[in-house]
Amino acid sequence: RMTSAEVIDLAQQHLTPNYTRYPVCLVRGDGSWVWDAEGTRYLDFFPGWGCGILGHCPPRVVEAVREQIGQLIHVPNTWYTEPQALLGQALADRTGFGGVSFFCNSGTEAIEAAIKLARLNGKPKGRYKVVTMTDSFHGRTMGALSATAQPKYHAGVGPMLPGFTYAAYGDLAAAEAAVDSETAAILLEPIQGEGGINLPPAGYLEGLRELCDRHGLLLMFDEVQAGMGRTGKWFGHQHWAVRPDVFTLAKALAGGIAMGGIVATPEVGAKLVTGTHAATFGGNPVAARAALATIETIEDEGLLDRAVQVGERFRAHFLALKDRCPLVSDVRIKGTMIGLQLAVEGAPVVQKCLDRGLLINCTHQTVIRL
């Protein structure tokens, strides 16, 4: 096996430099722990950028993938497979409104599907625009990037796709002002992740639902980060009495295997008629089995309740920290979606934790995200 230094040197020669990488090369993971080639162990508080919701190599997911990969790796959506059908059912059973699913391979692709669905749904009325929120993050492909209302991500790669209007997150009046006769949908993360773990103010999501109903718009939630049990409910929006027309999933959906998807009400999902959309690997049996195993694990091990307990434990610790440390200015938590707002840059904190064997994330410059 190569040493960490050898791998890092090779990667720096042969990979594009688009990622901020720390000089750590990982070879193995188990639960909350990962190891490098030299045997150094790290405690991982941000597994897989949010994909490792069950930790590293969760046994049931590993077993399901092993079994499936020896049986049938991939067939296109020309054919039916049992794992994909069962996954559609498993998600529908947990939405509270049924729903139909389309599967793809990442969060940004899920957003592309949602944008397309909004346009297909709005087309008869001449509606194609999507209202999104400041500090949102929806992905890096051009549609999802245009939906992402953060100028730093648009720098140098414009022009953006037409048809996106931005409103301040949390400001209902701003959302209303952004709607016009060509608006097809409102798209937002119910709890913003990359933007700094921002929770919606009281009445905000309910107000957006009412706004959408009044204007005949789709309400679309990006659940890529908040979904799949992280916040203590299957989907983040279920903390509020608001039903979306469409929501997206990815990251934790398949317990660490690449997978994305959208769930739509049957009525809206029906607009994605034959030929309007596709993904070659979308819903492949390996990813679908991994997702089913993820759902079973969350259910059988009571992990929705566990997420709430973990969140409360961190809240108690971090509020105590806030009382005695002026560098901590706010604590924002929903289950295991945990944000610690600092009054200073977070990068040195990430480095200090790394030096002590703890992997954490800093987002939006000043928010420690676990």
Q: Is 189 in the site for ligand PLP (CB under 6 A)?
A: yes
Binding of residue 194 to ligand PLP (CB under 6 A): yes
In this chain, which of 250, 253, 259, 295 binds ligand PLP, going by CB under 6 A? Answer: 250
Is 147 in contact with 132 (CB distance < 8 Å)? yes
Nearest to 50 by CA among 222, 225, 190: 225
Residues 315-344, one symbol each (x = binds ligand PLP by CB under 6 A, - = not), give ------------------------------
Site for ligand PLP (CB under 6 A): which residue of 139, 200, 255, 285? 139
CA 194, 283, 141, 47 torsion-angle sign: positive
The correct pick among 81, 225, 284, 363 for binding ligand PLP (CB under 6 A) is 225
Question: Does 138 help bind ligand PLP (rule: CB under 6 A)?
Answer: yes
Is residue 193 close enough to count as binding ligand PLP by CB under 6 A?
A: yes
327 within 8 A of 335, measured Cβ to Cβ: no
Which residue of this chain has its Cβ atom nearest to ligand PLP in the complex? 107
Q: At what angle do helices 285-300 and 303-324 cross, to 10 degrees?
A: 70
Binding mask 273-312 for ligand PLP (x = CB under 6 A): ----------------------------------------
Query: Of the two residues 8 and 142, which places its CB atom closer to ligand PLP in the complex?
Result: 142
Does position 255 interact with ligand PLP (CB under 6 A)? The reply is: no
CB of 367 to ligand PLP, least distance (A): 13
- Whether the CB-CB separation of 105 and 74 falls below 8 Å is answered with no
Tokens matching residue 60: 């049931």
Per CB under 6 A, the segment of 4-12, 122-130, 135-143, 277-285 that binds ligand PLP is 135-143
107 binds ligand PLP (CB under 6 A): yes
Quickly list DSSP for 302-324.
THHHHHHHHHHHHHHHHHHHHHH
Return the sign of the alpha-carbon dihedral for residues 139, 142, 146, 151: positive
Instruction: In angstroms, give the least distance from the CB of 187 to ligand PLP.
Output: 10
The dihedral built from the CA positions of residue 7, 259, 186 and 244, taken in this order, carries a sign that is negative
CB of 2 vs ligand PLP, minimal distance in Å: 27
The residue range among 133-141, 172-180, 310-318, 341-349 that interacts with ligand PLP, by the rule CB under 6 A, is: 133-141
- Residue 270's alpha-carbon distances to 120, 187, 346, in angstroms, are 10, 19, 45
Check residue 108 for interaction with ligand PLP (CB under 6 A): yes
Contacts of 314-319 with C-beta under 8 Å, sequence gap 24+, read 314/338, 314/370
If the CB atoms of residues 222 and 328 are measured against ligand PLP, the closer one turns out to be 222
Cα separation, 306 vs 289, whole angstroms: 23
How far from each other are the two terminal CA atoms of the chain, in whole angstroms? 31
Residues that bind ligand PLP (CB under 6 A): 106-108, 111, 137-139, 189, 193-194, 222, 224-225, 250
